Structure 1
Amino acid sequence: MIRKAALLLAASTGLALPACAGTPPPVQIAAQGPVSGTAQDFRARPVTDEVIYFVLPDRFANGDTTNDDGGYGPDRLASGYDPTHKGWYHGGDLKGLTEKLDYIQGLGVTAIWFAPIFKNKPVQGDPGNPGSLSAGYHGYWVTDFTRVDPHFGTNAEFKAFVDAAHARGMKVYMDIITNHTADVIRYAENEYDYRSKGEYPYSTRGGTDGAPINPGFGGDDDPAAANWAALADPAYAYTPVVPEAEKDIKVPAWLNDPIYYHNRGDSAWVGESSVYGDFVGLDDLFTEHPRVVQGMIDIFGGWIDEFGIDGFRIDTAKHVNPEFWQQFVPAIKARAAATGIPNFHAFGEVYWSNPVQPLGAEIMAKSGLPYTLDFGFAAAAQEVAGGKSAPSMMADLMEQDAVYPGGADTAPGLPTFLGNHDMGRFSMFVRSHAEGADEDEILARVMLGHAMMFTLRGVPTIYYGDEQGFVSDGNDQLAREDMFPSRTDVYNDNDLLGTDATTAQDNFDTRHPLYELIAALAEVRLSSPALMRGTTVVRAFDHEGPGLLAVERHDPASGERVLVAFNTSNAPITRHVEVDYGATGVSALMGQCPLSLAARGSLRIDLPALGYTACTLTSGAD
């Protein structure tokens, strides 16, 4: 299988495969200047000039087995450690992540984003229902925002990791949460359905028929400080109850006061409940409150001050009121700038699945978030590279870029990705969409999707394990496999792409065809200002079935123009594509390109099945 996949890769890039090769050679690229950025100037790189690697520390590398149980002891109900179960801690840690920096940098990665490393509640769920229990290995059930989870190591080990990454010129992005904390608060009513602000306003206790706690609350005559002071005698929609054993579990200490939570019940994921309801029972912070706003600025600003963090991926951003972000983002960016970090990258998670409905743009416009993860790109790439939808879907997505705040110039800074820890892995979607395809075609389509991510607009974001051919069985816990030898049966029975290995063994193979492809694509991208920062003009696309997508990228500062083209079909394509009329010549950046233009303003594209290419358009005297 590997050799046939190598042939497909060679065909995609116009390479001749060495006769004895067992894995594909690197993608053919033209001679270029040095890769963007060095250890000395990494701070100066704009956010567009990165290649991001997203990793769950618990599932990556176990550098210190003594912290596997977090110091809680052998009882898994206390520690959350059970490497045989997909929903519990498996032992990965910061020491292991630091030891694997060579491997990560070898992919061409310039920035590492990792799931939250703050101290979590080890186990959540109903003890009376063992099936509901799982562990905080993913990092999103925070109790202490000021220290590293003991399963992952210490604050000193985190500093060692950041310093080691920075010494290599690699940036570090933290995953942060402001929407909620771990699930600690219970309700005396023993009910959890969402109670609206209309039925249970902040001005009364016990609903609209209840006694007013401050008749002037929210009125035009009340200073804002007085309005919020009224909440010192709060009008809870539900009566919060904190178990005695957990009354002081959260850090900083102000987080232990129920006054700083909405206490309105569980979100129904629509309307106001999407913002003010508990996220699957997690304690939803009262993010309208000035104390909460300033508290979150202090918490995360502290990590910037102490460790020199280069960016934040912001969890559940659309579930927080926009006014919070309007205060938080400028404060955090100012904090970073004062620490000597001019290009701080803040991007929010705005989960949606419609590739041509840019919900992220709407949230950015309302909230002032600089960027959001591009879920629309992921959905389009899954369907287009998978052969389910025509290339017009990706073209339509890029035509929507003008709606982002700042217009289409904003889009190159959006982190793009193919799959993740919530949705599932890209290869899973490709297998689902490419009906009847064998494993060689699946691998070729996965390669095609990566070529799209690295050459179309946006900041390519690799989900750990994709470079080793990991194939998830589903989303969430089923897409969070171990890179170190796994003891989880539901992972170990998966057939990986491009290899005969399984997750039961170590998977850090730098000769895996996907590892080599991604490293080569990163080199292409980082050598080209147009691919990193360029504007986009869609030049050609097929709108019925799989076929051609051609896009021209232009960087005004350097003048570089690159035409990238993809064939999502199983048959070769020859097509003449319009290009900028100022172009007088062409050269290959990646793959095969014609020796000259077909005519002024026209380039002939020849692509094999599932092939792709990148051609630099040159200008000068005729």
Structure 2
Amino acid sequence: MSRLLTTAATLLALAAPALAESPAPYRDRPFADDVVYFVVTDRMANGDASNDKGGLTGGPEQTGYDPTDIGMFHGGDFQGLAQKLDYIQGLGVTAIWVTPPVVNKVVHKYDGGLSAGYHGYWGLDFLNVDPHLGGNAAFKAFVDAAHARNIKVIMDIVVNHTGDVIQYRECDGSSMSKPCPYRSKGDYPTTRRASDGAAINTGFKGDGAAHQTVPNYATLTDINYAYTPYVPAAEAGVKNPAWMNDPRHYHNRGDSNFSGEDSIFGDFSRLDDLYTEQPAVVDGLIEIYKHWIREYGIDGYRLDTAKHVNPEFWHRFVPEITAFAKAQGIPNFIIFGEVANEKPADLAAYTGILGLPSVLDFGVAVAARDTLGMGADLDLWDGLFRADRLYPKGDETAHQLATFISNHDQGRLAFKIRKANPKMKAEELQARVVLGHALMFFSRGVPTLYYGDEQGFVGLGDDKASRQPMFASPSKQFNTEERLGTIGPRTGDAFQPGHSLYRAFASMATIRQAHPGLRQGRTVMRYFERKGPGLLAFSRIDDARGEQFLIVANTDTKPRSLTLDTEGPGTTWTSLHGTCAAGQGTAYSVTVPALDYIVCRKG
């Protein structure tokens, strides 16, 4: 088995890429034609050490900077990211998704210590770039440099919450770990004061869609209906724009349990939950995110925690932002939301309910994890593809789903497989990681690479344990954890275009770019093993060009053969990756090495 796996990995790494046509100009290119590279900016590259502390003085509690701690700022910035554009473009990437660049609350305190806002999801100043990341000028220079290389920039944005500033007199605010239970609208109605039960907010009709009007919220004058919120004097006025400093613009009901009512109205782990039913809040957030398009020419938004925001908000936000972008000369503005749900049918339902053009496809991540790491049946992929018809526009929407197998919250595919198989040899783990990426690149959707996967990063968990720096780091954890196929010293920079995984992923991107049918062709399932590991086969059909592409993946640790029906366009088979017989007709025989894949074109 070892010899077979080594052979497969070598073939994957050294495969000669197809000759690719150049991507269309970034303003003209549809999202379905992109390959996305997702970076945690603070962890990518340190181009200017003078901004590591964000212009602040003191120790980690004051500056947030401590590169020995995986939960603090490490020094990455937009100057560094701009310097690595050639490296990123060499992967075949056509769009870079960056974590929120806005100024964050520097640190939050937890029972176990400190954690910094290096990731961008604790925003305070929503109109400016965090000085830790280089500030406004550095961000503008990065965006311009990416555009000069025909690469789009997608900005992660948050409308659900801000950093934690508002406190409740009934709760211990000394630590983000302290509980502050959700108080429901049934037990604590908006028309009754929590402390004494007195009637308040006379005339307020509630938060239903029909009542989300300026006159209705004008009657909401007393916000002490669930807790007694206040802003500590030391943090008065810290948010920007100014309207964000008013506690009336927040739900103030305590921590969400992420189910039912509190999924929308509760605080996300103590973070200040914006009252997105209020027209003033909707207007304010739309203006904030018009600003980033107008000032920086952003090409798209990834919507954080999208399912925790009321649908009516998105029903205004999406069309207004899209129309504004078009007026600014960005006709193909990208919007995809985070709906953290593993079920394809639920993802499709949320896409329709929220009115989103696209979402992150958690279904692909789950199918890759379970079939490559848990020995699950391959019918998971069949169910995933069949659910595409449930999306609002069927295949059209499915082709725009941001597919991924690793990310900054759930962790890397390599870690998930390693966790389930602690004794698996590194060469087999690497082969499975390559196979997972092949399934992501060649199935429908927009492949979204997570930075570091191309350098063999594994990680030790999810969240901050999966956000390794690509540059030299004093972090003991990051320097001692497993890496696959490492080139050079473990403690040095990890920007090796010669890495076998980098070369394998670049080859996949090149093949995909060379053939429009692999980007926008419809999917036809051909075969899947019904029990345990084996062969998974599907075609991407390009009716307009009269061709089809057969992708066959082998999740078994021994070679597998199969003859299958390939009715559809084309007459003659050629190989794009692996060995494809030069036969004709619809009955087609394939042999796929262990933990490998083939891509065959019939034209």
Taking structure 1 as the reference length, the TM-score comes to 0.92
Q: Within 5 Å, which residues of 2 pair with 1:22-33?
A: 24-25=13-14, 27-30=15-18, 32-33=19-20
Whole-angstrom CA distance in 2 between matches of 1:109 and 1:493: 29
Q: Within 5 Å, which residues of 2 pair with 1:96-175?
A: 96-125=80-109, 129=111, 131-175=112-156
Q: Which amino acid aligns with 2:7?
A: L
- 1:272 lines up with 2:258 in the alignment: no
Provide the residue aligned with 2:325 in structure 1. 336
- Report the Cα offset of residue 156 of structure 1: 1.0
- Report the Cα offset of residue 501 of structure 1: 4.5
Q: Within 5 Å, which residues of 2 pair with 1:16-415?
A: 24-25=13-14, 27-30=15-18, 32-37=19-24, 41-125=25-109, 129=111, 131-190=112-171, 192-206=180-194, 209-215=197-203, 217-218=205-206, 224-234=213-223, 236-354=225-343, 357-386=344-373, 388-415=375-402
Whole-angstrom CA distance in 2 between matches of 1:219 and 1:328: 18
Q: Contact 2:213–2:279 (CA<8 Å) still a contact in 1?
A: no
Q: Within 5 Å, which residues of 2 pair with 1:464-483?
A: 464-483=451-470
Whole-angstrom CA distance in 2 between matches of 1:226 and 1:42: 43
Q: Which amino acid aligns with 1:74?
A: G
Change (3 A) 1:503 1:71: farther
Q: Secondary structure at the match of 1:42?
A: coil
- Report the Cα offset of residue 491 of structure 1: 1.1
- Report the Cα offset of residue 337 of structure 1: 0.5
Q: Secondary structure at the match of 2:381?
A: helix
- Report the Cα offset of residue 8 of structure 1: 2.0
Q: Secondary structure at the match of 1:413?
A: coil
Q: Contact 2:541–2:568 (CA<8 Å) still a contact in 1?
A: no
Whole-angstrom CA distance in 1 between matches of 2:213 and 2:463: 41
Q: Secondary structure at the match of 1:134?
A: strand
- Report the Cα offset of residue 353 of structure 1: 3.2
Change (3 A) 1:216 1:316: closer
Q: After the TM superposition, which of the residue ranges 144-153 and 553-562 deviates more from structure 2? A: 553-562
Change (3 A) 1:142 1:565: same
Q: Contact 1:483–1:503 (CA<8 Å) still a contact in 2?
A: no
Q: Contact 1:118–1:147 (CA<8 Å) still a contact in 2?
A: yes
Q: Contact 2:5–2:595 (CA<8 Å) still a contact in 1?
A: no
Whole-angstrom CA distance in 2 between matches of 1:554 and 1:88: 47
Q: Secondary structure at the match of 2:162?
A: coil
Change (3 A) 1:439 1:422: same
Provide the residue aligned with 2:9 in structure 1. 9
- Report the Cα offset of residue 219 of structure 1: 11
Once the two structures are aligned, what percentage of the paired residues are identical? Answer: 48
Whole-angstrom CA distance in 2 between matches of 1:551 and 1:223: 47
Change (3 A) 1:146 1:46: same
Whole-angstrom CA distance in 1 between matches of 2:271 and 2:223: 20
Q: Could you give the per-residue CA deviations for residues 494-517 of structure 1, whole angstroms, max 9, x where no partner exists?
A: 121012546521100110000011
- Report the Cα offset of residue 188 of structure 1: 1.4
Whole-angstrom CA distance in 2 between matches of 1:207 and 1:275: 24
Q: Which amino acid aligns with 2:551?
A: V
Q: Which amino acid aligns with 1:174?
A: M
Q: Contact 2:266–2:273 (CA<8 Å) still a contact in 1?
A: yes
Whole-angstrom CA distance in 2 between matches of 1:68 and 1:202: 44
Q: Could you give the per-residue CA deviations for residues 146-200 of structure 1, whole angstroms, max 9, x where no partner exists?
A: 1110101121111100000000000000000000000000001227210111222
Q: Which amino acid aligns with 1:256?
A: N
Provide the residue aligned with 2:176 in structure 1. none
Q: Could you give the per-residue CA deviations for residues 463-494 of structure 1, whole angstroms, max 9, x where no partner exists?
A: 00000000111111111111000111111111
- Report the Cα offset of residue 107 of structure 1: 0.6
Provide the residue aligned with 1:545 in structure 2. 532
Taking structure 2 as the reference length, the TM-score comes to 0.95
Q: Could you give the per-residue CA deviations for residues 412-442 of structure 1, whole angstroms, max 9, x where no partner exists?
A: 1101111111111111112234564311111
Q: Secondary structure at the match of 2:326?
A: helix
- Report the Cα offset of residue 358 of structure 1: 3.1
Change (3 A) 1:523 1:342: same
Q: Secondary structure at the match of 2:27?
A: helix
Whole-angstrom CA distance in 2 between matches of 1:195 and 1:77: 32
Q: After the TM superposition, which of the residue ranges 242-251 and 200-209 deviates more from structure 2? A: 200-209
Whole-angstrom CA distance in 2 between matches of 1:572 and 1:141: 49
Could you say what the CA RMSD is over the residues aligned between the two structures, in angstroms?
2.1
- Report the Cα offset of residue 217 of structure 1: 3.2
Q: Contact 1:434–1:442 (CA<8 Å) still a contact in 2?
A: no
Q: Could you give the per-residue CA deviations for residues 61-97 of structure 1, whole angstroms, max 9, x where no partner exists?
A: 0000000111111321100100000100011111000
- 1:425 lines up with 2:428 in the alignment: no
User: Structure 2 stretches of 5 or more lacking a match?
Assistant: 173-179
Q: After the TM superposition, which of the residue ranges 250-259 and 602-611 deviates more from structure 2? A: 602-611
Change (3 A) 1:222 1:254: closer
- Report the Cα offset of residue 204 of structure 1: 3.2
Whole-angstrom CA distance in 2 between matches of 1:150 and 1:181: 18
The correspondence for 2:477, drawn from 471, 490, 494, is 490
Change (3 A) 1:582 1:531: closer
Aligned length: 595
Q: Which amino acid aligns with 1:164?
A: A
Q: Could you give the per-residue CA deviations for residues 339-383 of structure 1, whole angstroms, max 9, x where no partner exists?
A: 1111111011111234xx432211111110111101111011112
Which consecutive aligned stretches of 4+ in structure 1 deviate over 6 angstroms post-superposition?
A: 2-5, 219-223
Q: Secondary structure at the match of 1:557?
A: coil
